[in-house]
Chain A
Amino acid sequence: MPDSFPPPTWGPPFDERNLDALLSGHLADTPQALRQVADVLAALRAAPTPAELTGEAAARAEFRALADSLALGPDEAARTDGYPYAEVLSALALDGTGRPPARHRSIRRVRGAGPGGLPGGPTRPHRRRPRGRRLGRKGGVLMAAAGGALAVAVIALAVNMPGSAHRGGGSSAAGAPSARHTSGGTTPSQNVQAGSASPEPSIQATATHAARQTVSPSPTSSAQSEASKLCREFYAYFSHPRPHAWPAEQTLFRQIAGLAGDPSPFDVNSYCGPYVRDMFPHGLPPIPGYLQGLLSGPQNGTSNDQQGPANGGPGPGTMNGIPVNS
């Protein structure tokens, strides 16, 4: 038997492996110095208290409400296990009607996260393009179509203009293709038949220039298309609410009212109905009171207009004396 004490133990009585084991819930070989810490962590993991389960009814109600609202009414017969809730919910989510408010989208994505930005969170099948770009593309197509139609109209006018045939005939008689290129009354068929090096650029340039200067749509159709565009843009804020859209929404409302001749009171739903009916098959949404009050207020466009609802979307509050959220 040794007659001396064992050597003293130096350093901390536990190491990082012990701490990792504690955090992972492995309490088997916990050192004595960490026993109390292990007890604290075990107490944290203890069975739930009644107070922690009191919110179940509210959570169930929320779940039921969502399921009911998305399963087309409170028909209990439809709420069987075989009902395709997931498909219905997904379809509505894609449609943008079941999405959470947009204020959570600016948070950094985390590793292993789905497209929704949460680790393992809801996945979004596709990302919607910004509305402005989509409209821009559509507008580009419309512009191209209108330009083409105008070019055809101008060419037809040029062909039917008195004297153009005469000039064309004259130049043809002269047999000088370069002269044809510079003459304003040249027809495409003549140029092509003449086999000049580059007849088309000349024709297109002339036609486009002429179209810009001489041809314009009738005022009625222009106003209608403008009204249609403004109305669709305005109602898009209701079908896809966006934060901080308040000023743009107001501006659009005023522009539409201006097109309608600034009537007071102005029923924007009646005015825009024909243009936006396809966006709201179940009826147009009610227009918030603060917008309706814009035209009837004492000062349109005062500093009050800069105050929007706190959440950036349409909501109750005061505007020109009408209640608004601040």
Chain B
Amino acid sequence: MVGEEFAAQLAAAQGGSEDAFAVLWRDANPALVRYLRVVASEHAEDIAAETWVQVVRGLPRFSGDESAWRAWLFTTARRRLLDQVRLRKRHPAEPLDEISVAEEPRAAAAEEIAMDNLATEWAMELLSRLPEQQAEVIMLRVLAGLDTEVVADMLGRSPGAVRVAAHRGLRKLATLLSGAGVTL
């Protein structure tokens, strides 16, 4: 979270400051990408990029605090995600020739990066094993930092239903972890 600086950074970004916009972007994009990787694994980066295009266009007219900003960002991302889902239903993509793992291009430090972020990757993998709605609710609550009412509005459900979904998701997560007998 940007915190107390948020209002100043937002105003500067709305005034045309690219650096201020970059501060907002760096703060929010990792959470956005993680959320999208859990709910739409294969197109997360594309949808995140589309989301930012949309956000940049609406930035001059945005008003609100950091919580509202994140709610707006994730709502926009969710809409882009739904658009993508609809589009892919209408125009299903055909897979290209299979490329083996060994043939995939890799950066030199890919292994190191992967080791550094193993915990995060594994956490996201665990979350993606939950039912879709439970995973989404937990991601929005934990990553986006949105409260129950805002999440309920985003998903078109009652706050009670959102709370129940989150609790069920956490319980299931606890069950998964105890069953696997693993620690992070």
Residues on A lying within 8 angstroms of B by beta carbon are 16, 19-20, 22-25, 33-34, 36-37, 39-41, 43-46, 48-53, 55-56, 58-60, 62-64, 66-67, 71, 79, 81, 83-86, 89-90, 93, 98, 100, 103-104, 107-108, 110-114, 116, 118-124
Those of B122-163 within 8 Å (CB) of chain A = 122-124, 126-127, 138-139, 141-143, 145, 149-150, 153-154, 156, 163
B170-A122 in contact (CB<8A): no
Interface size on B, residues (CB 8 A): 73
Q: With A48-B26, A49-B30, A58-B49 in contact, do A23 and B166 touch (Cβ < 8 Å)?
A: yes
Nearest Cβ distance between residue A47 and chain B, in whole angstroms? Answer: 8
Partner of B53, one of A19, A34, A62, A104: A62
Closest to B177 in A: A36
Q: With A41-B142, A98-B57 in contact, do A49 and B113 touch (Cβ < 8 Å)?
A: yes
B62-A122 in contact (CB<8A): yes
Q: With A44-B127, A49-B116 in contact, do A100 and B54 touch (Cβ < 8 Å)?
A: yes
Which chain A positions have C-beta within 8 A of B41? none
Q: With A39-B183, A43-B122, A59-B29 in contact, do A23 and B141 touch (Cβ < 8 Å)?
A: yes
Closest to B154 in A: A110
Those of B46-75 within 8 Å (CB) of chain A = 48-49, 52-54, 56-65, 67-69, 71-72, 75
Complexed CA–CA distance, A34 and B124 (Å): 17
Which chain B positions have C-beta within 8 A of A93? 60-61
A sample of 8 more A-B contacts (CB under 8 A), given A36-B174, A43-B122, A59-B22, is: A33-B174, A40-B126, A44-B127, A46-B117, A53-B30, A55-B29, A119-B71, A123-B61
Complexed CA–CA distance, A108 and B79 (Å): 11
Which chain A positions have C-beta within 8 A of B60? 85-86, 89-90, 93, 122
Complexed CA–CA distance, A112 and B159 (Å): 14
Closest to B64 in A: A120
Nearest Cβ distance between residue B122 and chain A, in whole angstroms? Answer: 7
Closest to A50 in B: B113
A86-B15 in contact (CB<8A): yes
User: Is B85 positioned at the interface, with any CB of A under 8 Å from its CB?
Assistant: no
Complexed CA–CA distance, A8 and B75 (Å): 46
Partner of B16, one of A20, A83, A121: A83
Nearest Cβ distance between residue B25 and chain A, in whole angstroms? Answer: 5
Which chain B positions have C-beta within 8 A of A118? 71-72, 75-76
Q: With A85-B60, A119-B71 in contact, do A52 and B29 touch (Cβ < 8 Å)?
A: yes
Which chain A positions have C-beta within 8 A of B26? 48, 53, 56
Complexed CA–CA distance, A224 and B150 (Å): 56
